[in-house]
Chain A
Amino acid sequence: MALLHQRFENDNVFVVPFDKFLNWARLSSIWQMQFGLACCAIEMMAASASNFDIMRFGVIPRATPRQVDVMFVAGTVTIKMASRIKRLYDQMPEPRYVISMGSCANCGGPYWEHGYHVLKGVDRVIPVDVYVPGCPPRPEALLEGIIKLQDKIRKDSYLRKPAK
């Protein structure tokens, strides 16, 4: 949008595929489920703070799953928590996305062998779109994860009939 800002003398008409327009709108306002599970949540908070300013990507934390597009699984998913995460994911409206942040949420992390209480990867209960590696990942890594998710949303085609 910045490319077009105040460049024209009069009003203009633009012709774009509606899917592209829709995707541009969606990827520019990815609302985030506001919750964190462990130390990765601290990095997520740092990403939200002014140094990294996650809001420039249109990521706004929301306190209810009904209003969100993406869930950052930021931290260790215990087996007790897994059923709650599944429920929160089920409460999110479609289309919905999941970013798995950090080694624990990706694959169990340091708890992979002796962690009887840790789910070895959140993808055992919910589908994951982007995996962000790191223990914990720096805020830049999370930002890159968001950019990767934006790339993914950009390629969606919701209006087209599914292939037979």
Chain B
Amino acid sequence: MTAQDIHDKLKAAFGDAVQEAKLDAMQPWIRIAPNRTAEVCAWLHDQPEMKLDYLMCLSGMDYNNGKLGVVYHLSSIEHKHKIVLKTECPKDDPHVLTVSGVWGTANWHEREAYDMYGIIFDGHPDLRRLLMPDDWDGHPLRKDYKVQEFYHGMKVPY
């Protein structure tokens, strides 16, 4: 199935949850609403003609314009088609619905995105930091991140 077909079917099923798309890109992407990710992804995963059963990557983004984002690279092992989903949320109130119930892989990916960008995945079963210590201040991959001076008595900057 081409990216155009996936986009059209998604648009027909979810309407305004599909916000924007760029389908002539090398990796065609579709932007969806952050509060609809769970149902859109579940639908893409379960539909027999889509069957996007493989979450290749889930990335966090800081667009440096007051918005954070999440990018999902999806692939179907059976149909051999791929699509990229994107979603955006405001930096001062970053909430995205979790997709960890759709792909088990997303559990740790979302924990990493939460750790590095502070994106809160609503409905996640265990949203703790993955890489940094639990009591770390701030989210290191945000563009406006400033590292803390001390951590447990150890000086952090050079």
Contact with A along B109-131 (1 / 0, CB 8 A): 00000000000000000000001
Q: Would you call B133 and A120 a contact (CB within 8 A)?
A: no
Residues of B within 8 A of A80 (CB): 132-133
Tell yes or no: A62 within 8 A of B by CB. Answer: no
**Max count, chain B CB within 10 A of own CB: residue among A79, A116, A117, A125:** A116
CB-defined A-B contacts under 8 Å, sample of 25: A79-B133, A79-B151, A80-B132, A80-B133, A82-B154, A83-B152, A108-B158, A112-B158, A113-B158, A116-B140, A116-B145, A116-B147, A116-B156, A117-B131, A117-B132, A117-B140, A119-B154, A119-B156, A120-B155, A120-B156, A120-B157, A120-B158, A124-B154, A124-B155, A125-B154
Query: What is the bound-complex CA distance between A82 and B132, given in angstroms?
Result: 13
Count, chain A residues at interface, CB 8 A: 13
Query: What is the bound-complex CA distance between A142 and B132, given in angstroms?
Result: 31
Residues of A within 8 A of B156 (CB): 79, 116, 119-120
The binding surface of chain A is classed by DSSP as: loop
Residues of chain A having any CB pair with chain B under 8 Å: 79-80, 82-83, 108, 112-113, 116-117, 119-120, 124-125
Query: What is the bound-complex CA distance between A159 and B131, given in angstroms?
Result: 47
Query: What is the bound-complex CA distance between A146 and B59, given in angstroms?
Result: 44
Of all A-B residue pairs in the complex, the 5 with the closest CB atoms, nearest first, are A116-B147, A112-B158, A120-B158, A116-B140, A80-B133
Query: What is the bound-complex CA distance between A119 and B133, given in angstroms?
Result: 13
Residues of A within 8 A of B152 (CB): 83
Query: What is the bound-complex CA distance between A119 and B157, given in angstroms?
Result: 8
Contact with A along B131-158 (1 / 0, CB 8 A): 1110000001000010100011011111
Query: What is the bound-complex CA distance between A116 and B140, given in angstroms?
Result: 7
Known contacts A108-B158, A120-B156, then 19 further A-B pairs from the complex at CB < 8 Å, ordered by chain A residue: A79-B133, A79-B151, A79-B154, A79-B156, A80-B132, A80-B133, A82-B154, A83-B152, A112-B158, A116-B140, A116-B145, A116-B147, A117-B132, A117-B140, A119-B154, A119-B156, A120-B157, A120-B158, A124-B155
Residues of B within 8 A of A108 (CB): 158
Closest to A108 in B: B158
Contact with A along B3-16 (1 / 0, CB 8 A): 00000000000000
CB of A99 to closest CB in B, whole Å: 21
Closest to B157 in A: A120
